[in-house]
Structure 1
Amino acid sequence: MLTRKQLELLDFIQKRMARDGVPPSFDEMKDALDLRSKSGIHRLITALEERGFIRRMAHRARALEIVKLPESMERAAQLQAEATQPPGFTPKVIAGDKVDPPRGALEVTATAMELPVMGRIAAGVPIEAIAQVSHHVAVPGSMLSGKGEHYALEVKGDSMIEAGINDGDIVVIRSQGTADNGDIVVALVEDHEATLKKYYRRGGMIALEAANPAYETRMLREDQVKVQGRLVGLIRSY
């Protein structure tokens, strides 16, 4: 049995990982639960880990993974996904017994879905756009947002490390042509360069912002940038 605060924290972590693909920071957890210090978050994290709901990965910043959810939370997530499933979109489901998700993915359902990995995406200096399937990867159905088609890309570079996205990780992308400020997106620059960055609209310009102070924000005209999708999940490379 979890306490109210433990449930609140687990729910916050699950929703942020489902939205952004990476765990929230301890400061974000503290603010979300209206706690005065991060020591309270440390205690809640330890309690959730001892009860087998989450796992902390050693020597990695913000490295949390959800191992399981309480039945009520898992059912609520499933109902929400079913309610938002668009007509005509039928993901490929891997049949058989329980499928173990890739390490670092959210292990919240027994069903995995197979997505095409469309090559590599630069989290650094933009590289040439990728349009061919290199292989496929199985991801938990709970990682998908339930809206639109999805694909995966292998990350190359370190410009998004402060968002928890490392070189060699696999990012799960929901295909869409628009984005809100702060979204992490696949951006196609001048129709031939693809990059993974935070998206901001500033006046008549588009800012593609790294999550690493070593990289400068790139300012481009609106007609130079096309959004190809938004980050919805992450499979860590170990």
Structure 2
Amino acid sequence: MEIKDIIKSRRKDLNLTLADIAKACNVSEATVSRWESGDIGDMKRSRIASLAKILNLSPSVIVGTVEDENMYKSSNIDFIRIPLYPPICCGDGGFIEDNIIEYIPVPSKGLESPDNYYCQLAKGDSMIDAGIDDGDLLVFEKTSQVYSGMIGAFCIDENEATCKKYTESNGMIILKPMNSKYDPIPIDPLNNHFRCVGKLKKSIKNFE
């Protein structure tokens, strides 16, 4: 998924019109349309900040790694670059794709080799009681095993993936949302399609 596709997809997910984006960024609808066609090369820093804010995204997702990397450098924050994959569902379920969008910088505190991690944007509100909001950047440690009580990334079938709290009860695996309006997801341990693909290491809030 290219940056232009992320902008358009996110706008539609939030039920925003071209006019809504144009007003928030103080540009014309034609300009927003050009952004969604991939013409973002001369986008001003102020426009990047406004667009990221209304789409509830990190600026790095819009323009690559430059904005966040410069921010970390100016703040003397050590960082590593890890692959960003398409959003993971924090709702009723979503789809995981194998293609890497880009490599983005994240604070290295608490992390080891970049090869051990990947990140995805949270999509939905099923994990808000765990401090995970829609649009947060989730950093996962690559692993095929988590223990009861841990939050991880799980593939429920061949394509569907979700971020939930892992628990076990009466011989069943339960993927528990951290929001009472969502129901737990029971998983048969014999389900050959179910697998753990990551353990949550940190959640990074959007940059203002």
Give 1:99 shift.
Answer: 5.7
**Quick one: which of 103, 115, 119 aligns to 2:86?**
119
- Whole-angstrom CA distance in 2 between matches of 1:172 and 1:126: 18
Q: Which residue of 1 aligns with 2:72?
A: 101
**Quick one: which of 175, 179, 203 aligns to 1:234?**
203
The alignment of Structure 1 onto Structure 2 pairs a total of residues equal to 137
Asked if the contact 1:155–1:168 (Cα under 8 Å) also holds between the matched residues in 2, the reply is: yes
- Cα offsets for 1:14-58 (capped at 9, x unmatched): xxxxxxxxxxxxxxxxxxxxxxxxxxxxxxxxxxxxxxxxxxxxx
Asked if the contact 1:150–1:174 (Cα under 8 Å) also holds between the matched residues in 2, the reply is: yes
Alignment of 1:109-188 (within 5 A): 110-144=77-111, 149-188=116-155
Q: 1:116/1:148 Cα in 2 relative to 1: closer, same or farther (>3 Å)?
A: closer
Give 1:147 shift.
Answer: 9.4
Q: 1:211/1:101 Cα in 2 relative to 1: closer, same or farther (>3 Å)?
A: farther
| TM-score, length basis structure 1 | 0.53
Q: CA RMSD in A?
A: 2.4
- Whole-angstrom CA distance in 2 between matches of 1:162 and 1:131: 29
3-state SS of 2:190 partner = helix
Does residue 208 of the first structure (1) align with residue 175 of the second (2)?
Answer: yes
- Cα offsets for 1:76-130 (capped at 9, x unmatched): xxxxxxxxxxxxxxxxxx9xxx96439xxxx8x7421011111100001111122
Give 1:131 shift.
Answer: 1.3
For structure 1, list consecutive stretches of 5 or more residues without a partner in the other structure: 1-93
- Whole-angstrom CA distance in 2 between matches of 1:184 and 1:147: 20
Give 1:191 shift.
Answer: 2.0
Q: Which residue of 1 aligns with 2:46?
A: none
For structure 2, list consecutive stretches of 5 or more residues without a partner in the other structure: 1-64
Asked if the contact 2:83–2:104 (Cα under 8 Å) also holds between the matched residues in 1, the reply is: yes
Asked if the contact 2:143–2:196 (Cα under 8 Å) also holds between the matched residues in 1, the reply is: yes
Asked if the contact 2:82–2:115 (Cα under 8 Å) also holds between the matched residues in 1, the reply is: no
- Whole-angstrom CA distance in 2 between matches of 1:180 and 1:137: 28
3-state SS of 1:162 partner = helix
Give 1:193 shift.
Answer: 0.6
Amino acid at match of 1:101: Y
Q: Which residue of 2 aligns with 1:31?
A: none
Asked if the contact 1:99–1:112 (Cα under 8 Å) also holds between the matched residues in 2, the reply is: no
Q: Which residue of 2 aligns with 1:87?
A: none
Aligned identity (percent) is 27
